[in-house]
């Protein structure tokens, strides 16, 4: 979800047992607290929520027990989640001076800090049900979701660890990857990674250096995410990514319309996206101009 849609009047930052992360941060997680009634209502909503049905040929594929969908855990018993990803141990809601009954933890998803993911929240609930049920979580009443949860079998590389910024295998740079296998998702994203891999390969063959596309463009933002921007925790938290505005560096968007009126809510969001898109087009044109190979000189 987009970081700026989390309600920090309710949610707070704290790592379990204030344990320091690798970067020395004792508050690497955002915690959304629930009391007993809120937790019970949440479990009931999960059990009742519309789920995606498996096709016949998928039915026998076992789940990976280490990361079961939340609705499957809820089905196993009302307390399962409270002893799983929603356990409140080691956390203190300082505003009410006690440990919450249950907690949903969010973790920063990109270096920019504009996106957060829900820890341990795999799900095959239908998208509409996800938005409705996840907004029941205190602190997420107005959450805007950049990517909803889904389950399908997908084979992809742990690219933040394995690939360099031009999609080469660090351990064997003559091998370059393209498309979905790099950890992107979707037709356009896969084609974009194919085009980038092709341009990098061509530039290398022609002996001219080609910088990765700027982070301010969709090509560059996605490439930067899969080849390093994702905060990898070494436990396989890297998941395929669609392109979305949360991957772009922030921008000072207009606060007032052409008529001088202050922009509000959705209008402001639209103005911000437009400003990001205009910046992207300008920067992409610059990158493309710089990346045209010089004509070979006379023999
Ligand atoms: C059910 C479903 C619905 C989807 N719906 C959408 C959607 O609505 N919108 C959207 O944007 N995206 C959607 N996607 C995702 C999208 O299809 C993929 O992200 C995209 O097609 C990936 O493109 P790709 O070229 O990287 O990989 P692929 O399309 O998977 O192409 C890889 C190719 O490599 C071939 N191959 C594999 N191994 C070998 C080998 N050893 N030798 C030779 N060839 C090999 C495969 O046969 C395949 O043709 C959907 C995916 C699924 C599964």
Residue 80 Cβ < 6 Å to ligand 1: no
CB atoms within 10 A of CB 284: 17
Output the CA 20–ligand 1 centroid distance in Å: 40
How far apart are the C-alpha atoms of 169 and 165, rounded to whole Å?
10
Label each residue of 100-143 as H, E or C: CCEEEEEEECECCCCEEEECCCCCCECHHHHHHHHCCCCCCCCC
Domain-by-domain residue ranges, the chain? 3-134, 159-291
Output the CA 154–ligand 1 centroid distance in Å: 10
**Nearest-atom index, ligand 1, CA of 193:** 26
CATH code given to domain 159-291:
3.50.50.60
Residue 52 Cβ < 6 Å to ligand 1: no
Name the residue with tokens 């290398």.
Answer: 204
Name which residue sits closest to atom 7 of ligand 1, judged by CA. Answer: 186
What token pair was written down for 176? Answer: 């370059």
Q: Where are the beta strands (DSSP E) in 77-163?
A: 102-108, 116-118
Output the CA 180–ligand 1 centroid distance in Å: 7
How far apart are the C-alpha atoms of 125 and 299, rounded to whole Å?
63
**Nearest-atom index, ligand 1, CA of 181:** 26
Output the CA 290–ligand 1 centroid distance in Å: 31
User: What would the pLDDT profile of 1-52 be if each residue is shown by its tens digit?
Assistant: 999 999 999 999 999 998 887 677 878 899 999 999 999 999 999 999 999 8
User: What would the pLDDT profile of 153-201 be if each residue is shown by its tens digit?
Assistant: 778 899 999 999 999 999 999 999 999 999 998 899 999 999 999 999 9
- What is the reported pTM? 0.69
């Amino acid at each position: 979800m987009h970081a700026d849609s989390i309600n920090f009047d309710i949610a707070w930052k704290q790592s379990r047992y204030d344990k320091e992360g690798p970067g020395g941060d004792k508050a690497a997680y955002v915690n959304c607290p629930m009391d007993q009634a809120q937790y019970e209502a949440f479990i009931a909503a999960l059990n009742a929520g519309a789920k995606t049905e498996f096709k016949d040929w998928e039915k026998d594929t076992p789940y990976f027990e280490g990361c079961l969908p939340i609705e499957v855990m809820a089905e196993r018993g009302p307390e399962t989640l409270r002893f799983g990803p929603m356990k409140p141990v080691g956390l203190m809601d300082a505003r009410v001076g006690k440990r919450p009954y249950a907690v949903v933890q969010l973790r920063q998803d990109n270096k920019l800090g504009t996106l957060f993911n829900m820890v341990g929240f795999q799900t095959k609930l239908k998208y509409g049900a996800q938005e409705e049920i996840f907004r029941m979580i205190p602190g997420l009443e107005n959450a805007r979701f950049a990517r909803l949860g889904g389950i399908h079998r997908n084979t992809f590389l742990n690219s933040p660890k394995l690939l360099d910024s031009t999609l080469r295998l660090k351990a064997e740079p003559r091998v370059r990857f393209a498309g979905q296998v790099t950890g992107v998702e979707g037709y356009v994203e896969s084609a974009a990674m194919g085009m980038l891999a092709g341009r990098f390969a061509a530039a290398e063959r022609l002996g001219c250096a080609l910088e990765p596309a700027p982070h301010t463009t969709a090509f560059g933002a996605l490439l930067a995410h899969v080849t390093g921007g994702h905060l990898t925790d070494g436990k396989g938290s890297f998941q395929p990514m669609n392109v979305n505005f949360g991957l772009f560096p922030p921008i000072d968007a207009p606060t007032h319309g052409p008529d001088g009126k202050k922009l509000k809510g959705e209008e402001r969001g639209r103005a911000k996206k437009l400003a990001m898109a205009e910046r992207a087009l300008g920067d992409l044109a610059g990158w493309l101009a710089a990346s045209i190979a010089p004509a070979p000189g006379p023999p």
